[in-house]
Structure 1
Amino acid sequence: VGHSAGAFNAIAAISDEDFLAPYGLRATDIKAVVGIAGPYSYDFRQYGGTSAFAADATPDQVMPDRHIKGSQPPYLLLTAEKDKIVYDTNTIKMTKALKDYGVTVETGVIKGASHATSIGAMAAPFRWVNDVRAQVLTYLDKELN
């Protein structure tokens, strides 16, 4: 499970078997993947994200929607309805890339959520803010049991 850059990192690591191989792992060793409001497919050169990548990097070199390799676990990709930082096009493109590769993908929208509250409501005291916690736990219960 990851949110925002954490979702990018989790999905990038799991979706490309070459990342996990040096650790003796395969993507299918992971039983389920959850990405919340992840920037999986965008041109970081236009949106202030250049410091996160090599100076000469391009989106084709680093975006996870362009590097799916090996057998994959199922994915849940969630977007925040009112996210003004990471737009839903990232999830739309990542979902398409995974499905085109033959991966099982579920998507969902966290109603009323902003980028921050899309993860903040995972904390028990803030469950009332939105249903992200319920969506994630329901998905994991289904996939892991």
Structure 2
Amino acid sequence: MTRRPISRRRIGRLALAAGAALTAAGCSPLVLLNAAVSSQGWLSTTGVRYGAGPRRRLDVYRPRGVGPFSVVVWFYGGGWDSGERGGYEFVGVALARQGFVTVIPDYTLSPDGRYPEFLEDGAAAVAWTLEHIAEHGGDPARLALMGHSAGAYNAAMLAYDRRWLGAAGVPADAVKAFVGLSGPYEIFPYTVAITRTVFGHVQDDGVEPMTHVEPGAPPALLIHGGDDGTVDPRNAPTLAEALRRVGTRAEVVTLPDAGHVKPLLALSPPLEDAAVLRPVVAFLESVLGPTAPR
């Protein structure tokens, strides 16, 4: 019997139906969304080691063309206890097609590690990016950090708590912008079981990115679903207010009636939504400069 390929429309319906399950599972591998990715317009290099340890590998997605292109380091979510870089090919491809070289690292997950090990991993991935991204057509002088859910937290901490990148030898001004999708920026005191497991050994609000915001902090775009039942939508304006107090540009985009995974699913080919992709690209280009011709 001949098997017919799954249509993009069918993939889109299945992915939407899986939305609640993805929320409960913390963004498990998104096979359906990756299945809809076309091979046109991008190149990839996968499984690159960025440091010692079983989780310190990353994938690079780049536009076709000579560049140099702006660079985004993407951190996936999963509640700090699940996730794998290969599940987010669709994110790397979506951003590469918009003209950004995209780096997606794995990082230490619970129960094998806890705060701040995943931030140390993320800092090492950023250091690798600055050193090597020109080999992949990227411009290390135009670097942004971006993430979804727990990954948005990781990216925000790297952007605003200078301890982690500094310890990895990354210059204080290396990160030019931060984009957070559905990010939990207020986590202390710990009211969720996974935060008690991952952060419970630290009993102060220094685990929150807004406590480290200083003048000269990178500008931010914060996108959040107005109907997010996993991370309170108030997290975005709270971080934005902290940034604005020190004179840093901070934009908040609220998606009415959208849940926790909608901003992530909006980057996928079958569910691509201009309400997310357009402000992301516009913000990054306004900070990093126009993308290079492809």
Q: TM-score range by the shorter chain?
A: 0.7 to 0.9
For 1:1-145, what aligned pairs fall within 5 Å after superposition? 1-43=146-188, 45-48=190-193, 49-53=195-199, 55-69=200-214, 71-128=216-273, 131-145=275-289
8 Å Cα contact 1:17-1:70 kept in structure 2: no
Q: Which runs of 5+ in 1 are unaligned?
A: none
8 Å Cα contact 1:98-1:105 kept in structure 2: yes
**What TM-score do you get using the length of structure 2 for normalisation?**
0.45
* Residue type of the alignment partner of 1:2: G
* Residue type of the alignment partner of 2:263: S
Structure ranking higher in strand proportion: 2
Moved over 3 A (4+): none
Change (3 A) 1:10 1:94: same
**What TM-score do you get using the length of structure 1 for normalisation?**
0.87
How many pairs were matched up? 143
Structure ranking higher in helix proportion: 1
1:126 and 1:74 map into 2 onto residues whose CA distance is 27
2:202 and 2:196 map into 1 onto residues whose CA distance is 8
Q: State the identity as a percent.
A: 30
8 Å Cα contact 2:180-2:223 kept in structure 1: yes
3-state DSSP class of the match of 1:72? coil
Change (3 A) 1:27 1:72: farther
1:7 and 1:127 map into 2 onto residues whose CA distance is 20
2:184 and 2:204 map into 1 onto residues whose CA distance is 11
RMSD: 1.9
1:44 and 1:79 map into 2 onto residues whose CA distance is 21
